[in-house]
Structure 1
Amino acid sequence: MPTITRGQAICMFYGEKYTKENVAILTKRIEDAQVDICYTDDPNNAFLIWEKKVNQQPLRYHTYADEIQKPGSNDDTSVITGFPLTCSAQIVQFLNMVYLADNPGNEELYDYQQETQKRILSNVWKYTTIFDEKGIRMFGRLAFWRPPKTTT
């Protein structure tokens, strides 16, 4: 699922080209109406709703981030704390979210790069301790394993 900023969502909602000028004009229009742009399931399906309604049901209505940092824009050597990945299913989900297999079509947020398995593992190590003793071979089996195709 592509990541969309608040400014991009506003321009998409009004059918305008994404430029800084359009974002400023359309954001003012939304703020003057005391509504907010949000989505429920799919960030591509934005809609306007009263600000109070968003605050009343924050788990139902999701707002867009004003700005999203690109990977590598901050210190890559820092260790993340808070929500460690504790099982293989969480790691697979993390890999699918961070390392996209196809082009999301959003050059504002994503840079196309080819990554090595070793570099991917070094990033995963920031979030989990599962591979501390098992190393790159176990990581390769988990991350790049594909179920066998069945023939009918």
Structure 2
Amino acid sequence: MSTITGERALCMLFYKPYTEENVNSLAEYLRKEDLEICYTDEPTEPVLVHSLSITHNPFRYRTYVCKKTLEPTKDNEKTCILNSAQIILLLNTVYLPHDPENSDLYENKVVAMKEIYCTALKYSDELDAKNLNSFMKWCSYRKLDFLQVETKRKIDEVDDKKTTRTRSLYALKDDYLGKDPSKYLNKWPLRYSFVDDVADKINNYLPSYQSYIKKLKEEGYTIIGYIRKSPGKEPDDRRRQLLKTMSLNLKERSLVDVVFASPCSRASDPVQSRDQNQHPLLDQIGELFYKV
């Protein structure tokens, strides 16, 4: 996930000071030429490509977080639905325990657990049945990043006899009111939200990734996966089940054609020395794997 905005990256690419005037001027140039700014590996090294190139290969050409223009939505309306793993990624992106030194995207603010809970609910159906207390336990069990910051008690603004536990976090700037006269001619206020854009990118990551893998297969590539389990005390049945789960995940998510498995080796072991002696689990696992 990029940690700079597309507007700043645009000015960086053209060696221009980061001002609204320069952003508007450069954005207009890109629109005329049908170009888009993106990056491949490092967000601080932006490149320009034709818009169709991003459509053709969205996994290779990654777009930046931008201010997403949205029409007003009804209360509690969800803009996209994320699964639990995606919600964790979203919350770890939106609420940081440390200063990212990026005032374009983040601001230091006092955040109550209820605000984080409401953010998660906006993008998830799985959490609808949870109340605030069960959501706190859900976050604690999954060790979300913002829990690294200790809580402090803050006196309630309405009732000074009540206190609320809060954290000082660096939060992704959410939405603010604005208008887009070129599109709506000041008919109604719009929301500009970084959080919605991040949620969309998380939601679309897997389809884009799988589209990229499919294109590689069409070009004749064979997709190979590798899984490994460290030495441990669990019984063979449990180890076999864990290996099968990892293999199926690779097949479903990364569309691998072949999975190589190392049933009992350490991460520090050289690859060529792993499982030199055939492990009995390899014969039991069957067609899911090739041995290493």
* TM-score, length of structure 2 as denominator length: 0.40
CA distance in 2, matches of 1:104, 1:86: 26
TM-fit CA distance, 1:29: 5.2
SS in 2 for 1:115: strand
1:45-124 equivalences under 5 Å are 45-64=45-64, 67-68=67-68, 78-81=75-78, 83-87=80-84, 89-124=85-120
Q: Distance in 2 between matches of 1:50 and 1:137?
A: 48
Shift of 1:104: 3.2
Q: CA deviation at 1:25?
A: 4.0
In 2, the alpha carbon distance for the partners of 1:85 and 1:59 equals 19
- Higher Rg: 2
Query: Which of 122, 125, 137 does residue 126 from structure 1 map onto?
Result: 122
Judged with a 3 Å threshold, the aligned counterparts in structure 2 of structure 1 residues 35 and 144 are, in CA distance, closer, same or farther, namely same
Could you tell me which amino acid in structure 2 is paired with residue 56 of structure 1? H
2:139 maps to which of 133, 143, 150: 143
Give the 3 Å change call, closer, same or farther, for CA 55–128 of structure 1 in structure 2.
closer
**Cα RMSD (Å):** 3.5
Whole-angstrom CA distance in 2 between matches of 1:98 and 1:74? 22
Which sits farther off after the overlay, 96-105 or 58-67? Answer: 58-67
How many residues matched?
143
Amino acid at match of 2:109: Q
What is the percentage of aligned positions where both structures have the same residue?
Answer: 31
Higher RCO, Cα 8 Å, sep 6+:
1
Q: Is the Cα contact below 8 Å between 2:2 and 2:65 reproduced in 1?
A: no
Structure 1 residues 54 and 79: CA distance shift in structure 2, 3 A = same
The alignment's TM-score, normalised by the length of structure 1, stands at 0.67
Post-superposition offset of 1:137 = 2.7
Distance 1:7 1:77 in 2: 29
SS at the partner of 2:106?
coil
| Paired amino acid for 2:22 | N
**Alpha-carbon shift at residue 7 of structure 1 (Å):** 2.2
- Between the aligned partners of 1:65 and 1:11, the Cα distance in structure 2 is 15
Mark the CA change 1:105 to 1:76 in structure 2 (over 3 Å): closer, same or farther.
farther
2:43 matched to which residue of 1? 43
Shift of the 82–28 alpha-carbon distance from structure 1 to 2, 3 Å rule, reads closer
Supply the AA of the counterpart residue of 2:36: D
Partner of 1:14: 14
CA distance in 1, matches of 2:87, 2:74: 19
Decide whether aligned partners of structure 1 residues 74 and 52 sit closer, same or farther in structure 2, where only a CA change above 3 A counts.
closer
Cα drift, residue 3 of structure 1:
4.1
> Distance in 1 between the 2:64 and 2:106 partners?
17
Tell me, in whole angstroms, the C-alpha distance in 2 between the residues paired with 1:54 and 1:74: 25
Query: Could you tell me how far apart the structure 2 residues matched to 1:74 and 1:116 are?
Result: 27
Shift of 1:96: 0.6
Q: Which amino acid aligns with 1:5?
A: T
**8 Å CA contact retained: 2:38, 2:47:** yes
**Structure 1: gaps (5+ residues):** 148-152
Indicate how the Cα distance of structure 1 residues 24 and 103 shifts in structure 2: closer, same or farther if over 3 A, else same. Answer: same
Residue identity matched to 2:118: S
Deviates further, 127-136 or 44-53: 127-136
